[in-house]
Structures are given as C-alpha cells and as structure tokens.
Structure 1
Amino acid sequence: MSEQLSIVVTGGAGYLGSILVPALLARGHKVTVVETFMFREAGLFDVCAEPNFNVIRGDARDEALMTRITAGADLVIPLAALVGAPLCDRDRIGAVTTNRDAVLMLTRILSPEQRMIIPNTNSGYGIGKPGIACTEDTPLNPISLYGRAKVEAELAVLERKNSISLRLATVFGMAPRMRVDLLVNDFVHRAVTDRAVVLFEADFMRNYIHIRDVTRAFLHAVDNFNTMRGSPYNVGLSDANLSKRQLCALIQKQVPGFVYLEAPVGEDPDKRDYIVSNARIEATGFKPVHSLESGITELVKGYTILRNSRYANV
C-alpha cells in the first residue's frame, strides 16, 4: 500500500463520493468529508464505524471552515458541485459559487505542498469536429454555465502545478447515492420502467465511463501523483464513443421490449457532441474495467430494485 494520507473530500456523500470515500478508507487513508447533505444522502452509513473516517456537516464555500479543516491535509478532492447544466441553470448563483468560487478559494488557502485532484467534465469540449477525437490539448469551448464554471475552476487549479484534473466522460452505473438523471442511467431507467424513450439530437456523440472506473481513476491519480501532476486527463471508455441512437441499440439488446423514437424536438443545454481520446491517462497505466454493456446489465438489476414511485399510487 502507498503512504497513508490525510484526505479532505468535499461533497463526499454524493454519487461519486459514496463509492470513492469507502475506497480511500479501504486503502488505509484518513478521510474527512465536508457535506451539506442537501439531498439527504445516506450513502456513507457503512463507513461510520471506520476510525479513519470523519464527517462534518458544512458548506464547501465557507472559507473559515475550509481553512481549518484543510490545515493538516495532504490531499484535497473537491467533489462538492451542482452537477449538470439543468441544475446549474436552476440555481445560477449556487453553480458559480460552488462549482467555481469554492475551488478558487482552495487554490488560495492551500499551501503549495498540499495536493489537489479535481473532477471536470468532458462537456467543456462543447461541439467537436466530426471524426476528430478531443485530446487534453483541444481548446475548451464550454457552452453551458455548468461547463464554463468547471473549466474556469480547472484552469486555476492546474496553474498551481501540484494538482491533477480528471475530465470525466458521461458517468453511468449504480451507486449508494444514485443519480437516475445521467444519460445512460436515465435511458436504462426509461427502458425498464416505461419501455420507451423519445430521442432528440440522436446522432450527437459522447464518451462514457462507469462510476467505479471513475473511482479507480482517482485512486490511480493518488498512487501516481508525482508523475501525473500538473496536467488534465480525459477519463472514459475508448471503445464507447457512441451516439444516443447507438446507446439505445445497446440497451435494446438487454431490454427487448424497449422502443426508441426520434423527434425533432428538444436540445442538450451543453450541446455535447464530440468524441474523446483517453490515450494520455492510458499511457500512465490506467485502463477501465467496466464496459458499457456490463453497466447496462447492472442498471437493469438496480432498477428491478429501485422504483421511482414515491408519489404514485401503483
């Protein structure tokens, strides 16, 4: 095992944190989570018995709180964010203050020796060129407020050198704090519960990555920090640069009654249409282990358990 680190994770009870935090603890690290629990997340119940786990109910934008909590940290992982363009458009002030300003604050209060690993979004690439994969050197062109805030935060973090940014593809898979609204998760949920989905912008391309492979990428960055620091890394499945239509075809193979129809209505607020190269992180020795097909299988099982019927009579 690598050296034991003192790690602060903001937003550690969320979709990614609910898997990453237990994984960090399993490696023997000391982990302090700062979380508002605004969605009443309960995904960290299982680690409360861990002596190396500490949790603080607080806001990642609180400078006095974060200065105190990060004072002895070796590594800070700021996961706290309003994730996705629709949520950011609903709370534009919260999006800027959480997704950008809270991260900029960390670049001010952390010492140069303290490490940072941040998640960014592939939606920062905006609209790509047909047939040309976006690399980490491709100019960023975020369309939405969500994309812009995340890109501005990444630029500031990478300027401090002792940091790594992981530009995540569209994430999928089951987690203790579930997100049903992410594209793959949403389409499989509709396939299992409604047996149908209406597609808009069906030819728009995206890259995808399993939530557990995202956790593995963070652990890989922790273990290889000295050789990876100072750079951004795309994190996705290199064999899963697919259009929405191709994704639906994969789902249909596992949910035979699933029907997908195309309609000239609706649009993605991020205008995400690109293919991505993950060669840089693969060159460091990282390879995903969860395929898109296995993730669909997992989600079908998960939605057999989960029914979004809290306010329905049947």
Structure 2
Amino acid sequence: MSCHNILVTGGAGYLGSILVPELLRAGHRVTVLDNFLFKQTSLNHCVADPNFDVVRGDVRDQALVKSLLAKADIVIPLAALVGAPLCKQDPVGATSVNLDAQLALVKALAPSQRVLMPITNSGYGIGEAGKFCTEDSPMRPLSLYGIHKVEVEKAVLDHGNAISFRLATVFGMSPRMRLDLLVNDFTYRAVNDRFIVLFEGHFKRNYIHVRDVARTFLHGIDNFETMKGRPYNVGLSEANLSKIELCARIKAHVPDFVVLEAPVGEDPDKRDYIVSNERLEATGWRPAYALDTGLAELVKGYRMIRNSVYSNV
C-alpha cells in the first residue's frame, strides 16, 4: 500500500478523532486543520507521531486552505457544523462552513487531487414505505444541513476524482464525543434518566458505528480507482430500525429503561427511510461493529461522561 499526504479538515471532531489515528497507523502523513471550537484535546496522543501535523484555523480561510492543499494528495473534508439542530440554530455559520467553504475547497483542487467526502444519507428525506433508498433514489433533503450536503456532493462528484460516502446516523464512543447523535443520545438517556419520551417512534433510519466509518475511508483510499466518481451509502444493513425498535435494543442493555410514546409532538429531524448498502458491500467492504457492540460500549462510556459539553447544541 502506498502512503499519501492527507489533509483532514475538522480532523479533531467526532469522526476525525477516530479516523486520524487510523490513517497514521496505516502509514499515511496526515495534516489536520481544525478550529478546536469545542476545546477538545482528542488528538493529543497523535503529536508524538512524526507523520502528524496540526494547524489551528478556519476552513473558511481560503488562503490557508489553499496553502495546505498544495501539499496534499488526498483531502477528507470533515469540517462542518454537523446536524440539523445546530444548522437551524446558526444558519449563517452553516451556510458559510458547510456550503461556501466546501465549494471553495473543491474549486481550489487540482484535477489529480483525490477527495473522499462525507455526506449525510438524511438527503433521502422521507422514503417510500418498504422501499430501500439506493444511491439512485431521488434526494429530498428536509433540513438545511441535508440541503447543503446534497449540493456539495454534486460539486465533489463533478470534480471527477472523488468518492462520496452517504453516512447513516453514526454512533459509538469517540475521544471527541457527541451525545446529540440519535443512538448516543437515546443510550445516554437510558443510562442516566432511565426513560425517554418518543416522538414519531415509527420513523426509520439506518445506523453505522463511528469506527466503521473510519474503516470506510481507509477502504476508499485503498480502492480509489475502482470506486471513484460515485456515491456510496454507508450503513449497517442489519440496522434499518425505527426509533421504537432501537429503544428495544437499548433496553436489552439497560433493562429498567422506560420508553413512553407521545401521541403529539414532532421530531425536528423528520427523516424516515430504509437504506440499501449493497453498492459499498459489492466493493468488498463489510462492517466490523454491530449495533449491540456499540450499545455495550456506550453504556460503559457513560459511566465516565455526564456533561452536556459533549453535544453540538
């Protein structure tokens, strides 16, 4: 396997904190650009590696980004205001970071530079009952976050030398933890509150462990020439679950977890669909972390974490 110079924007975030050490372990040279908005220290253990470098800065600083791009073979743009609630709270910041900065980065790329771009599969919006969303399904994003991601995906794939990963809802422990992601949030409530009130509990979505997402990027780097130019759904095929079904799985780990369904009220994140991951699986990729593995890990992790600083909003 050849080693590459890789630029990871937002590399100190929830996903980057897992991915960057794995890239270094695989022998790549990694530069992280991050603004350390959450005062995280999640990459402290990487600084001893001579192949690691880090720059404190903003992905909207086009001159800085261009100077870092000059040394990169591969770009993994993770920097974003992530999630529908945070984007709704700060739509100006969301547009400048998630859309404008990403489009500027793509425009600054040389044709030879490779991009592996994370997109949300929330772009599918509300699917048809019993029908799997494939990469050819229409994109109907409902949130500002989803709308921006769909637009960026088009620009990235138009660049030509790129792979887009449409990520399912990510879960699992990370050095830069996020408690506001659905599985992480529900499990936190189970461990600490022992109950949850569900809105629209029949809504379904797909899930994926954060370590499997990191493995997907490594798989994309190793198989880039055969995979490039296409989007890929990234999720656990065994875990197209409704919120009620997810709670039942959590209850197996936290037996006194009480789930109440509310007849009124709406979930602000209105996605409802099931997803096919066959295209990615056909390239030889398989998930290594089951939902129950992640749930057991979260229950242990929440014996240590009890602080809202680990959320994005």
TM-score, structure 1 normalization: 0.97
Q: Cα deviations across residues 239-263 of structure 1 (Å, max 9, x unaligned)?
A: 1000000000011111011000000
Q: Within 2, Cα distance between the matches of 1:79 and 1:180?
A: 18
Q: Within 1, Cα distance between the matches of 2:215 and 2:188?
A: 25
Q: Within 1, Cα distance between the matches of 2:267 and 2:73?
A: 38
Partner of 1:41: 40
Q: Which runs of 5+ in 2 are unaligned?
A: none
- 1:251 matched to 2:284? The reply is no
**Partner amino acid for 1:46?**
H
Partner of 2:121: 122
Q: Which runs of 4+ in 1 moved over 3 A?
A: none
Partner of 1:292: 291
Partner of 2:218: 219
**Partner amino acid for 1:64?**
A
Q: Cα deviations across residues 186-236 of structure 1 (Å, max 9, x unaligned)?
A: 000000000000000000000000000000001000110000000000000
Q: Is the 8 A contact 1:8 1:33 kept in 2?
A: yes
Q: Is the 8 A contact 1:126 1:270 kept in 2?
A: no
Map of 1:144-159 to 2, 5 A cutoff?
A: 144-159=143-158
- 1:133 matched to 2:146? The reply is no
Q: Is the 8 A contact 1:70 1:110 kept in 2?
A: yes
What displacement does 1:309 show?
Answer: 7.6
Report which stretch shifted further, 256-265 or 133-142.
256-265
Q: Which runs of 5+ in 1 are unaligned?
A: none
Q: Within 2, Cα distance between the matches of 1:215 and 1:65?
A: 26
Partner of 1:73: 72
Q: Secondary structure at the match of 2:252?
A: helix
Partner of 1:25: 24
Map of 1:193-232 to 2, 5 A cutoff?
A: 193-232=192-231
Q: Within 1, Cα distance between the matches of 2:180 and 2:226?
A: 35
Q: Is the 8 A contact 2:14 2:177 kept in 1?
A: yes
Over aligned residue pairs, what C-alpha RMSD do you find? 1.0
- 1:174 matched to 2:183? The reply is no
What displacement does 1:161 show?
Answer: 1.1
Q: Secondary structure at the match of 2:96?
A: helix
Report which stretch shifted further, 268-277 or 247-256.
268-277
What displacement does 1:61 show?
Answer: 1.1
What displacement does 1:103 show?
Answer: 1.2
Partner of 2:2: 3
Q: Cα deviations across residues 134-159 of structure 1 (Å, max 9, x unaligned)?
A: 00000100011010011100010001
Q: Is the 8 A contact 1:147 1:270 kept in 2?
A: no
